[in-house]
Chains A and B, each alone.
Chain A
Amino acid sequence: MKSTPQGFWVNVISALLGIGICVYVWITSGHFPEDTFNLIDSAYFPRMLSGGLLMFSWLLLINTVVFRKPDVMEPISLRNPGTVKAALICVFTLVYILLLKKIGFIIMTTAYIYGVSVFIGNRKWLSLLVYTLLFTAAIYFLFKSLLGINLPPGLLKGII
């Protein structure tokens, strides 16, 4: 891996995000109810921690901006096909979760595994379908029979 100019900006943005979180935690904790009997109330620990995060966020910022020590890291770029694939899989997964209860585990899981496998390069469609169905059924019955956990049946309610 090579050091990239992106490393500089990633560190700067990360440090600023860290500082932002600290500010948010500090301000929000000001609205927590005060304890009349103890000085140590609900805001004590979050404020203490936000102080720690603030210190290291500043250190990262100073290291990067003043001492010019950007870290060696992999770039995230939408020009990279791998990154686009990962982002799309994230969207597919979100859709899977959204529809899981309504459509059901078996249909959604079969569609998800088959679709994602094909999307990331599996071209043996028939064997893939067989493996997908076997895997889905195995997981469903493993959870249902062995562990007593009912996965959402969805449209297949009453059939399985």
Chain B
Amino acid sequence: MNFDLLMDGMAVVLSPQVFFYILLGVAGGTLLGALPGLTATMGVALLVPFTFALPVESGIGMLLGIFQGAMYGGSIPAVLIRTPGTPAAAATALDGYPMGQKGEAARALAMSLYSSVLGSFIGVFAMIWLSPQISRFALKFSTAEFFCLAIFGLSVVTSISGRSLVKGMMSAFFGLLLCCVGSDPISGYARYIFGNMQLYEGPPFIPTLIGLFAVSEVFAGIERSGAVEKVKNVVKTALPSKADAISSLPCIIKSSIIGTIIGAIPGCGGDIAAYVAYGDAKRASKHPEEFGKGALNGIAAPEAANNGVVGGAMIPLLSLGIPGDAVTAIVLSAFTIQGMQPGPLMYVDHLEDVYYIFAGMFVACFLVYIVGVVGMRFFVKLISVKKNFLLPCIMIMSLVGAYAMRNSIFDVYCALFFGVVGYLFQKKDFPLSPILLALILGPMAESNLRRTLIITDSSFSFLWDRPICLLLVVLSLVSLGISLYNQKRIAKNELAQQLRTVETDGE
């Protein structure tokens, strides 16, 4: 680690303008994360267009703030109305909501903020130490290794496929075929553009993802719009008591490390980390019977873990240029639009940018705490905002975001089109995240595969002849295995949670 560069990055991040945009990002991310039903993916997709017109430092800073804020924000409605703001906060609801029912919502929210911030810091530390080592190794990569790396990234599809693996794979292949629309990366021949030159560069990426993740959610929200749950608890403070802070510290540190490790594995997102950490905390507890009824460590563990994931997920993103999940895929695309290309070469050509990101993540962690403490009462009120005003506003923000990219109405049509596609896909149980992952990794896979096959005279022997390729193929298979195992585990936990909910409602 280069301490001087980290200090230089810190100097940029702490300049008033950049600091302001990071703060804005954290506040916006927390706000959208706190709105029940709006996932962190949607929040990040919705706010990303706001970063385009900003100078690079401010844009990236705001983006990091959005990412950190959205991960934390999900815990607020999980505690107050048993509706996690993000899937990663689902495990937090197990003990957070019962604490709220006992009149201890303030204590639960304070613990969720405290453990989230500590989890984020530990994740960021791990990212700073580990990502340069991995990128140094990745510098040995040629086109063959990059193709295998894309395959490794795509192996994540199994873990984000939802209930049906076959449908997840169909979504992924649909996304990969979408990547073929536009100019051929080698010959420049226009494929599947139907005479529309606006498609020559392929479907516009940001409008596509805004459509898939934001517009489709608005349609779904309108369809199920109903009564808004009122918050009964009064929250006066967001600071944990000294006793709570000390007693939960070992659990938080352990869970943060779990979250960071899981986050660094592509495809293993915050939801998996939260459940694994929750299970571990329960096993390690002297009073496991209290879990599910309002145990403090039942909040600390999943929150520390799902925020540790942020730093962990940035490790493969920065060092290898492969996103671990849908949120990091959006962050990667926004980095690219800002002129940054995460991956091993970034550590050679733009090392100062890497350290700037490290510094930005640190400051964003700190600001999550400030925003959480200052804005807690506001976020609590926000949960009660009527959806029938919120949803059209989100739709407008989505359309404006799509327009802002190139000042093009065509992009707005694209956002609407993919919004309808996303809505139908979700309704019929076809997951959307594999499409996003395919849109990111598809072009990387195609161009590198074709270049490799030209060099090897159309032979696929590079897959086993080259040690790194072989390693990546094996890792892809291991990742597939782990993902399938975790998928079963999550399904089991969800079933248990549903049963618990039914029991609680019955009482």
A interface residues, Cβ below 8 angstroms from B: 10, 14, 18, 21, 25, 28-29, 32-33, 35, 38-42, 44-46, 49-50, 52-53, 56-57, 59-60, 63, 71-74, 76, 80, 82-83, 85-86, 89-90, 93-94, 96-97, 100-101, 105, 109, 112-113, 116-117, 120-122, 128, 131, 135-136, 139, 142-143, 147-151
**A150 CA to B424 CA, complexed, in Å:** 33
User: Does residue B187 face the partner (Cβ distance < 8 Å to A)?
Assistant: yes
Which of A49, A109, A116, A131 sits near B176, CB closer than 8 Å?
A49
User: Does residue B254 face the partner (Cβ distance < 8 Å to A)?
Assistant: no
Interface contact B222-A45, CB-CB below 8 Å = no
Given known A50-B177, A60-B170, A63-B166, contact A120–B222 (CB-CB < 8 A) = yes
User: Does residue B169 face the partner (Cβ distance < 8 Å to A)?
Assistant: yes
Grouping DSSP codes into helix (H, G, I), strand (E, B) and loop, the A interface class, with mixed when no group exceeds half, is: helix
Which of B167, B400, B458 sits near A151, CB closer than 8 Å?
B400
Interface contact B173-A53, CB-CB below 8 Å = yes
**A27 CA to B429 CA, complexed, in Å:** 29
With both beta carbons as reference points, the residue of chain A lying nearest to B446 in the complex is identified as A45
Residues of A within 8 A of B449 (CB): 45
Interface centre among A18, A44, A49, A136 (most CB of B within 10 A): A49
Interface contact A40-B453, CB-CB below 8 Å = yes
Which of B184, B388, B403, B453 sits near A121, CB closer than 8 Å?
B388
**A71 CA to B389 CA, complexed, in Å:** 34
**A118 CA to B53 CA, complexed, in Å:** 33
Can you list 29 residue pairs at the A/B interface with Cβ under 8 Å?
Answer: A14-B170, A21-B174, A25-B177, A25-B180, A25-B192, A29-B191, A33-B187, A39-B453, A41-B187, A45-B180, A49-B176, A52-B173, A59-B166, A72-B429, A76-B428, A82-B224, A86-B220, A86-B222, A86-B423, A89-B218, A105-B400, A109-B396, A112-B396, A113-B396, A116-B395, A120-B388, A122-B386, A131-B389, A139-B397
Known: A82-B222, A90-B416, A128-B389. 11 other contacts (CB 8 A): A25-B177, A35-B187, A39-B453, A40-B450, A42-B189, A72-B163, A76-B428, A85-B225, A93-B399, A143-B400, A149-B407
**A50 CA to B387 CA, complexed, in Å:** 41
With both beta carbons as reference points, the residue of chain A lying nearest to B187 in the complex is identified as A42
- Closest-CB distance, A99 to chain B (whole angstroms): 11
User: Does residue B382 face the partner (Cβ distance < 8 Å to A)?
Assistant: no
Q: Mark B415-452, 1 if CB is under 8 A from A, else 0.
A: 01001100110011110000000000000001001100
Given known A71-B163, A82-B224, A151-B400, contact A116–B392 (CB-CB < 8 A) = yes
Which of A32, A44, A76 sits near B424, CB closer than 8 Å?
A76
**A148 CA to B407 CA, complexed, in Å:** 11
In the A-B complex, the 8 residue pairs with the smallest Cβ-Cβ separation, listed nearest first, are A82-B223, A147-B53, A53-B173, A116-B392, A42-B184, A122-B388, A113-B392, A46-B180
Residues of B within 8 A of A120 (CB): 222, 225, 387-388, 391-392
**A52 CA to B180 CA, complexed, in Å:** 14
Residues of A within 8 A of B424 (CB): 76
Residues of A within 8 A of B393 (CB): 113, 135
Residues of A within 8 A of B446 (CB): 45
**A10 CA to B164 CA, complexed, in Å:** 14
Residues of B within 8 A of A45 (CB): 180, 446, 449-450
User: Does residue B413 face the partner (Cβ distance < 8 Å to A)?
Assistant: yes
Residues of A within 8 A of B458 (CB): 39-40
User: Does residue B495 face the partner (Cβ distance < 8 Å to A)?
Assistant: no
With both beta carbons as reference points, the residue of chain A lying nearest to B215 in the complex is identified as A93
Q: Mark B225-267, 1 if CB is under 8 A from A, else 0.
A: 1000000000000000000000000000000000000000000
Interface contact A10-B166, CB-CB below 8 Å = no
Which of A28, A76, A128 sits near B192, CB closer than 8 Å?
A28
Interface contact B428-A14, CB-CB below 8 Å = yes
Q: Mark B181-222, 1 if CB is under 8 A from A, else 0.
A: 000101101011000000000000000000000000011101
**A152 CA to B429 CA, complexed, in Å:** 37
Interface contact B389-A117, CB-CB below 8 Å = yes
**A57 CA to B446 CA, complexed, in Å:** 22
- Closest-CB distance, B55 to chain A (whole angstroms): 11
With both beta carbons as reference points, the residue of chain B lying nearest to A128 in the complex is identified as B389
User: Does residue B54 face the partner (Cβ distance < 8 Å to A)?
Assistant: yes
Residues of A within 8 A of B223 (CB): 80, 82-83, 85-86
- Closest-CB distance, B143 to chain A (whole angstroms): 12
Residues of B within 8 A of A56 (CB): 166, 169-170, 173
**A93 CA to B399 CA, complexed, in Å:** 9
Interface contact A46-B191, CB-CB below 8 Å = yes
Residues of B within 8 A of A112 (CB): 392, 395-396
Given known A60-B167, A120-B388, contact A86–B219 (CB-CB < 8 A) = yes
**A151 CA to B409 CA, complexed, in Å:** 11
Given known A93-B416, A131-B389, contact A74–B427 (CB-CB < 8 A) = yes
Given known A120-B225, A128-B389, A147-B50, contact A71–B407 (CB-CB < 8 A) = no
